[in-house]
Each structure stands twice: as structure tokens, then as C-alpha cells.
Homo-oligomer: A and B are copies of this chain.
Amino acid sequence: MSQDTVQMVAEAPAFRPLSDFAGTLSQRVYASLKEAILDLSLRPGAILRKGDVCEALGVSRSPVSEAVARLASEALVDIVPQAGTFVARLSLDEVREGAFLREALELAAVEEVARAITEEQLVELRRNLRLQEGLVADGDIRGFYAADAGFHELLLSFTGHRRLPGLSRTAWVHVDRARRLLLPEPGRVEETLAEHRAILAALEARDPEAARAATRAHLRQVVTRLERLGTERPELFA
């Protein structure tokens, strides 16, 4: 019961306007809410009143309800029937599960891709990698993260499976949210770049096992640092 009581004032939602997104109202509400949750601008553990969301976004309750249901299926919110909806707390268990899922998917992908990658696909990866190098040189960290995501999305799309990239992103959601807590470490982007180069090298060699090893090493970096954070500051996680 010793919950936070002081921060009632800091409950300013500040959602991105719906006009920034496309699709049906439900999808737009979903996108806006999800972004707010991943941003941590909706604090973990905070109550999420559907009525407030309706008023803030200027829509009725059906689209909000559907959007919240989708978020619940990703464990980003907890719905307690007839009681309330709460933003999911940060949880090391969820981080571990998300990391496990993404690692499983991505290892299977690179293993398959390494066996039959085409020259055109390698060209795409090399181009993305050069883009990353440029962004690092310019110090554009935000752009680098976007290119990073693009690199992984390219890899997954090479399997030919349409829904795989989206599933991987969904799996990674809890890791990504917790990552906001990590302070930027000097030299980390250069390490990331080197890890991407190692993955590309394994794919150029068409060596499935090397590709798996490089991808695994790459993906475990973030989780390792989050585990360390969990032991150093356990109060951050539920």
C-alpha cells in the first residue's frame, strides 16, 4: 500500500496527436498509446483510465478499448476487469522473455539466410552498414538506432516471412522500454557497429554457425547490461 502518492501532479499524458498516424482510429490510438508507454511518458505502474484517454485524444471508448486490448495481449498493460487498467511495471522476467524470443527468431533467421543469401541482399546490408558508419561519424545517435533497427529488419525480411519482423519487434518491446533506463556508455555505438560487421562477414562467408554466434553475441549485449542494472538498482523493476 506504500504506493506513490505525491506524483499525482505529474500525470500529464501528452500523447502524440492522432493525425501523426495512419489507419483506423483504433490503430492510431494503439500507436499513440504504445509510443507513450515505450517512452516511459506513461509511467510504469500508473493507472490508465480509458475515459481520460478518450478525452485526451478526442475519441470515443470503443477504439480506445480495442487499442488497450491489443496492448494487453503484448503485456504492456494489465487490465483488471471492472477495476482498472494499469501500465505494466518494468520486469526483468519480461525483459528476459522478450530477449529470449527475439534471439530465438533472429538466430533461426540468420541461420536460414546465411545458407542462401543473394548478392543483392548483401548489397542492401552493406549499404545499411555504410549508413550506420556515417551516422556514427556525425554523432547522430538517434539516426543510428533507426538504422540499427533497419539492419535487423532487413535480415528478418530476407527469410521471406512477412510477419516475422513485426513479431520480433513486438517481442523486443519490453527490452526496448527498459533500455531507456540505461545511461549511454561511451564507445558502445562503435561496438555495436563492429558486431554488425561481424554478422555481415558471417553472411558473406555463408557460414550459418558463425552468423548465429555473431548475432547471439550482439543481442546479448543489451540484456547483459540490463541484468547488471537489475542487480545494482532492483527498485527500478517491479
Using a CB–CB cutoff of 8 Å, the interface residues on chain A facing chain B are 24, 26, 62, 65-66, 69-70, 73, 75, 81, 93, 96-97, 100-101, 103-105, 107-109, 112, 159, 161-164, 167
Contact = CB atoms under 8 A, between A and B. Distances in A.
Number of copies: 2
7 closest Cβ pairs, A-B complex: A104-B108, A97-B161, A104-B104, A104-B105, A66-B69, A66-B66, A100-B161
Contacts of A100: 108, 112, 159, 161, 164
6 contacts: A70-B73, A93-B162, A96-B161, A104-B105, A104-B107, A108-B108
Contacts of A105: 101, 104-105
Contact of A65 (B66, B75, B108, B159): B66
A66 B62 CA distance: 9
B97 A108 contact: no
Contact of A108 (B69, B103, B164): B103
A65 B62 CA distance: 10
Given A104-B107, A104-B109, 12 more contacts: A26-B69, A69-B69, A69-B70, A70-B73, A73-B73, A75-B163, A96-B161, A97-B164, A100-B108, A100-B112, A103-B108, A104-B104
Contact of A162 (B70, B81, B97): B97
Nearest to A62: B62
B164 A101 contact: yes
A62 B81 CA distance: 16
